Amino acid sequence: MGTSRRLFSTCFARSHDNPLGLPRRPGPLPQIPRRNAPIQKRPIPNVSKVLAVASGKGGVGKSTIAVNLAFALAMHQIPGSQRKPRVGVLDLDIFGPSVPKLMGLESAHEPRLTQKGAIVPLVNHALQCMSMGFLLRRSADGQTKVDTAVVWRGLMVQKAVQQLLFDVDWRGDNESEPGLDVLVIDMPPGTGDVPLTLGQLVKVDGAVIVSTPQDVAISDVRKGVSMFKKVDVPITGLILNTSHFICRNCATPHYIFGSPKSFHETASQVGAKVLGELPLVGGVSEASDHGVPYMLVGEGNQEWKGTMSRIAGEVWDSLH
């Protein structure tokens, strides 16, 4: 199938109905959820299962976990099958997209469009991904887009989210491809417009909530669980990031950010399963800064990678 390249920042007029500047496609425009007028949830085109990765607050490593969980799922052997899952990542953080950096695509060209006007995801490390960060204007040096800010009000944000959800063709360049088995959605922190829009419009099959051991982060886990329950999104489980540190000279876990006891108590109180506790490993940050997901690092910490692999197995079983 032929594709075309366009500059999202210049070629088509932006409006509240079309903030990404996409060419008009057949069918109705995206709808905005309104009070007393529920909208029927829809599946994302060419996606079998949708998994949201969220957090009550920022700075807990949610995006890093979302990307690495996607790769762990892509490495998971489907029970009773000879193949592994087809997985993609969708970054729905409109104001602070992290996926371009984590996937090593900061300097990538803007996505192409299919002949029908859908966005073709970018690919790196053999995994498809899409982010608002790919659609921003480049910086003054023409190399990156990291300094470009999105300054939009709520209506524009909601419409942009809907376009990223429904106007991306996850079959890539080939319409004969079957699409994705799992789409991992990296959510912005908190309980604002974006997660609410997702929960109201899309049939989400599960949600993973990430926290760190500090009480200020754990207290927001309850808010995240409550929000997803209000929009009928099932909670797959909770992940505790930077749970402990193991130094090179001993095998004893050091809980430098606090005991995980409060985290487990909170999980029990909200009726959510603890999927795993990821240790604090310096290589995770270093690899991420170089655009290489830690699951792909050959000499990586085996406890971290093993825990992520087990989490991916539990997530797959929960979704199916």
Give the model's pLDDT for residue 145. Answer: 54
- 257 Cβ partners below 8 Å, 6+ apart? 212, 213, 214, 242, 243, 280
Q: Which DSSP symbol is given to 56?
A: S
C-alpha span between 251 and 2 (Å, rounded): 56
Would strands 206-211 and 235-240 be described as parallel, antiparallel, or unpaired?
Answer: parallel
Q: What is the pLDDT along the chain (320 residues), one digit of tens a residue?
A: 455 544 455 444 455 667 777 776 656 555 665 555 566 788 999 999 999 999 988 889 999 999 999 999 999 999 888 899 999 999 998 888 999 999 999 988 889 998 888 999 999 999 999 999 898 766 555 555 555 666 666 677 888 888 899 999 999 877 888 899 999 999 988 777 788 889 889 999 999 999 999 988 888 899 889 989 988 999 999 999 999 998 877 778 898 888 899 999 999 999 999 999 999 998 999 999 999 999 999 888 899 999 999 999 999 999 98
pLDDT tens across 137-169, in order?
665 555 555 556 666 666 778 888 888 999 999
Give the model's pLDDT for residue 146. Answer: 56
pTM of the model: 0.88
Nearest CA to 241 out of 226, 257, 228, 254 is that of: 257
CB–CB of 246/239 below 8 Å? no
CB–CB of 168/132 below 8 Å? no
Give the model's pLDDT for residue 28. Answer: 59
- 141 Cβ partners below 8 Å, 6+ apart? none
DSSP labels for 117-162? Answer: SPBPPEEETTEEEEEGGGGSPP-TTSS--TTPPP---HHHHHHHHH
Give the model's pLDDT for residue 237. Answer: 97
Q: Could you tell me the strand order of the sheet in which 235-240 lies?
A: 122-124, 127-131, 87-91, 180-186, 47-55, 206-211, 235-240, 274-277
Give the model's pLDDT for residue 138. Answer: 61
Q: Which uninterrupted H or E stretch holds 4? A: strand 3-5
